[in-house]
Structure 1
Amino acid sequence: MKDLGSFRYFLGIEVVTSPTGYFLSQTKYACDILSHANLTDDKIVDTSLELHAKFSAFDGVPLEDPTLYRELVGCLVYLTVTCPNISYVVHILSQFVYAPCSTHWATLLCTLRYLCGTLLHCLLLSASSDLTLRAYANADWAGDISDRKSTSVLCAFLGDSLISWKSKKQSVVAHSTAEAEYRAMAHATFKIVWVRWLLSDMDVSFSDPTPLYYDNQSAIQIAYNSLFYKRTKHVEIDCHFVK
């Protein structure tokens, strides 16, 4: 065994230590992605995805050679380890790797140009924040115009540090907004339980419940209601799980 010095670089993740905490980034990896995409200009955009943008498998003209598209999307998937701000758009682009079209390629280029302007952004793991766990969740009801499935999103904070985030399409088609929102709440509850178990293995114990923040009143009322009516029977399993 030998001492390799301070922890600075591991599997493409750069680590900078300061009294404030740890700064995690993948600047070099992101630059390699831009170089692989042959983006030589300095044009940048303010957002990786247009507001209310919807995509299907038949948008535009199919690409003659989708190899580069697949390689770049695969690289972006790993980049989300320290870049939660592109998690949703990468989730969208990943759905069309089997047969990408010109519209998907244009969105991919827009995402890469967004990366050009955020290369120096870092993920901070604060050294001074408390160990209070909290989570936020939301859902986009029937957002996918191809199969009308909803997308669940969540993020979890330990004190001031963002430690977990996810954007995932739901496995079934929701009949209502309340159902889609409540399934997203169930996914967030599962993540909270998993993070609490993980932290307990690190001797971090919690005496208080973990707050889950949500903005849909229907889903909140279902969670508080101990009676299951016919209209909520299809989410009864999720109701039991959250409780």
Structure 2
Amino acid sequence: MIITGDDSEYIAFVKARLRDQFLMTDLGPLRYFLGIEVSSTSDGFYISQEKYIQDLLARAALGDERTVETPMELNVKLQSTHGDPLPDPTRYRHLVRSLVYLAVTHPDISYHIHILSQFVFAPTTVHYSHLLRVLRYLRRTITRRLFFPRSSSLQLQCYSDATWTSDPSDRRSLSAYYVFLGGSLNVWKMKKHTTVSGRVLRLSCVLWPC
């Protein structure tokens, strides 16, 4: 169980009541949880998955130390027919699943993982090469973290964008949105539209608290 808040006395009270009812151990301030590292400073909190990335790179066995500046080349339109089918797609599926979880702290790869995850049923050599490029990008950006400041405004900022019939297989569009509360990124999502859309939506707005 994780207890959060800024009232230390009440937190101590809650933990004491829980100990009266359950067998539990106080592990102290949160440092590591389900592959997510948390560090606290006087300015705020950082969350990252550096060790998780290191373990993922070791499992991927890239065989070189190259890095790249972007997760995917510009204007890439992957299709299911590109490349030769992988004789064993197990590693591809495992790496994609791991990257989906990594997007918890790395929203910069959300779009690329969304694309690659569409081919988990029948991945090819081309899909796998693009997957390795994402891993090389993560090797370059392994120390990046999300920051949540202790003091921040309650200004809500929302950003969204969409492509226009960008998937060459079904001509459907992709949309995404990011929501910031002050300086903290709280919510983000990428999804494919369920129908073919003929309009592109780009939105950037600021919502002030009532």
Aligned to 2:71: 48
Give the drift of 1:40. Answer: 4.1
Aligned to 1:147: 170
> Does 2:107 correspond to 1:84?
yes
Aligned to 1:240: none
Aligned to 2:83: 60
For 1:81, what is the secondary structure of its paired residue? coil
Give the drift of 1:164. Answer: 1.1
Letter in 1 for 2:116: L
1:96 to 93, 100, 119: 119
- Describe the superposition over 1:20-78 as per-residue Cα deviations: whole angstroms up to 9, x where unpaired: 11100001111111111012422100000111111111111111100000000000000
Aligned to 2:35: 12
CA distance in 1, matches of 2:59, 2:77: 27
1:70 to 80, 93, 107: 93
> Does 2:172 correspond to 1:157?
no
RMSD of the TM alignment (CA)? 2.0
TM-score (norm 1): 0.73
Aligned to 1:27: 50
CA distance in 2, matches of 1:39, 1:131: 43
- Describe the superposition over 1:134-153 as per-residue Cα deviations: whole angstroms up to 9, x where unpaired: 10001001000000000001
Letter in 2 for 1:4: L
TM-score (norm 2): 0.84
The structure in which a higher percent of residues are helix is: 1
Aligned to 1:234: none
Aligned to 2:146: 123
Q: Give me the identity figure in percent.
A: 47
**Length, aligned pairs only:** 187
CA distance in 1, matches of 2:133, 2:185: 25
Letter in 1 for 2:188: W
CA distance in 2, matches of 1:80, 1:170: 20
Aligned to 2:134: 111
